[in-house]
Homo-oligomer: A and B are copies of this chain.
Amino acid sequence: MGGLMDQNQVFKIKRLDVDTGSRHLVVIHPDAAFELGVVSNDRVKVRGSKKTVTGLVLVSKKIVAEDEVGLPINVITELEEVVGTEVEIHAAEKPVSVEYIKNKMDGMELSAQQIRQIIKDIVNRNLSDIELAAYISSVYTKGMSIREIKDLTLAMVETGDVIEFDQEPVFDFHSIGGVPGNKVTLLVVPIVAEAGLLIPKTSSRAISSACGTADIFEVLANVTFTIPEIKNIAERVGGTIVWGGGVNIAPADDLIIRAEYPLTIDPYPQLIASILAKKKSCGVHKLVLDIPVGPNAKVESIELAKKYSRDLMLVAEELGMVVECAITYGGQPVGRAIGPLLEAKEALAALEGKSGVPNSVIEKAVCLAGMVLEMGGVRADTGRDRAAEILSSGRALKKMREIIAAQGGDPDITSDTIQVGKYSAELISDANGYVVSINNKSIVKIARAAGAPSKKGGGILLEKKMGMKVDRGEVIYTIFSDSRARLEDAVKLANRLKPVDVEGMVLERVLPSGRIL
């Protein structure tokens, strides 16, 4: 179908009051489409007097007449033309990467060049939603070899910006997520930085979770910075906690996630490449990865977590990075707090050495920070203790205040001054017993209903965690929200989902006669 150019295919530009960003939309009449030999989702080249733009066809008889082409504002701007001008249109070939996506659907292994082409076309917005979804589905159903994942990672790095630090090596810590309340990054980064290692942490915002590290830290300081700013802050204070989405590192990741999200799939090779591409782009040499495991966590079995670890380490090695993985307990939320302000408060309290902070938060943070310290030269088996000492001495808090100040926040903030959502509701146990399970996914849904992550004050504070004894009438957890309406919604949802299971140790007594008391 190439080269169907016909001198007579001339159309008048009609302005469409929309902006489709870097994805170009070209609206033509069904009769014109028929003449051009194209259908919706085909590509056409629109040739103006100065520029030529390639776009995706949308056939519609209601928007344009047969001799008109409907172009979004951004396409008209890019063509450097005005409304009413005539442009030529002819059919264009589809990107060659569509063929490679089909190869992957057929179970073939892709070459480095083919993977690079796909990622390039994704980043340049050359693929339609249909093609992008096909790519994700193919990777999900057919998988990728270690070699392919390595090439995918490199392609994601190459299509974005990179940060180069003067100081080496660069350390990092990352949790693959899936367990609510996981605010440990806010402890790990200052501990590691205080120990003199460079840890320029870039983190993400929540997509489907209750909050990401960037959402939490935003409560304390700015998280959006340019690459030179990140470099400057990190080299000055030893660490950052910034939002990775604020810079153009591995931009393919965001575009791919946007298409994964509606399908609620997270293809395994893509997950590994996404983590490592972002770390590689940030110049990381040594990385500790937290893989929480448990029912209703992202990774549900130890076996799968081991496979993740193995593959992550193999791919990282190919990329010249050293990765160590910690398989952690993800069977219930980490600590008591879920939601941006609640988690910031709990993390600060831990740094301040306040009582009442769950030991599980502190223990997880110092173990992980200790692993980073050992990668940085601290003698084996002493990392945890060194981290615990930095934390308990108050030096981690001091470093945290430096990071907050460097990122434009108030260094004098304390856990006591943080105000969480002003509306709250206590969820009460209607039975005596023990907490036997807390459903992560339900907790996330309720926290989101209460406003997290966008309404910073929304979230949940757990009073009871697994294994704890609960009496009838006792508070199991409290929901917080910035709005009464949202709180009511969250309570309704909580009553429906019942995220915390309380069971009596003796469920019922069966008497010898078979009568139940």
A residues whose Cβ falls under 8 Å from a Cβ of B:
1-8, 16-19, 21, 27, 34-37, 39-42, 60, 62-63, 70, 73-74, 94, 98-99, 101-102, 105, 107, 128-134, 136-138, 140-142, 207, 258-259, 261-265, 445, 448-449, 453-455, 483, 485-486, 489, 492-493
Contacts and interface: CB of A to CB of B under 8 A. Distances in A.
Given A142-B141, A448-B1, A261 B41 contact: yes
A483 B8 contact: yes
10 contacts: A4-B489, A21-B60, A37-B448, A39-B261, A42-B262, A99-B264, A102-B265, A107-B141, A133-B137, A137-B141
Contact of A41 (B2, B19, B60, B262): B262
A63 B262 CA distance: 23
Contact of A138 (B5, B19, B141): B141
Contacts of A62: 19, 73-74
B131 A134 contact: no
B132 A130 contact: yes
A122 to B, nearest CB: 13
Q: Counting chain B CB atoms within 10 Å of each CB, which of A37, A63, A455, A492 scores highest?
A: A37
Contacts of A140: 105
A404 to B, nearest CB: 23
Q: Counting chain B CB atoms within 10 Å of each CB, which of A62, A129, A138, A259 scores highest?
A: A129
Nearest to A267: B105
Contact of A493 (B2, B133, B142, B261): B2
Contacts of A133: 129-134, 137
Contact of A5 (B16, B98, B137, B485): B485
Contacts of A2: 445, 449, 493
A262 B449 contact: no
Nearest to A206: B37
B4 A448 contact: yes
A483 B4 CA distance: 11
A257 to B, nearest CB: 9
A73 B62 CA distance: 10
Contact of A262 (B5, B18, B130, B448): B130
Given A5-B489, A18-B16, A132-B130, A137 B105 contact: yes
A338 to B, nearest CB: 15
8 A-B pairs with the lowest CB-CB distances in the bound complex, closest first: A133-B133, A137-B137, A19-B62, A129-B129, A130-B133, A141-B141, A17-B17, A34-B454
Contacts of A99: 264
Contacts of A453: 37
A136 B102 CA distance: 12
Contacts of A39: 207, 258, 261
Nearest to A454: B34
Q: Counting chain B CB atoms within 10 Å of each CB, which of A2, A6, A263 scores highest?
A: A263
A211 to B, nearest CB: 11
A445 B1 contact: yes
A268 to B, nearest CB: 12
A135 to B, nearest CB: 9
Contact of A18 (B7, B18, B42, B132): B18
Contact of A101 (B19, B142, B261, B263): B263
A142 B141 CA distance: 8
A7 B483 CA distance: 10
A454 B39 CA distance: 12
Nearest to A492: B3
Contacts of A263: 98, 101-102, 105, 130-131, 134
A279 to B, nearest CB: 24
Contacts of A265: 102, 105, 134
Nearest to A3: B489
A105 B137 CA distance: 7
A42 to B, nearest CB: 7
A155 to B, nearest CB: 21
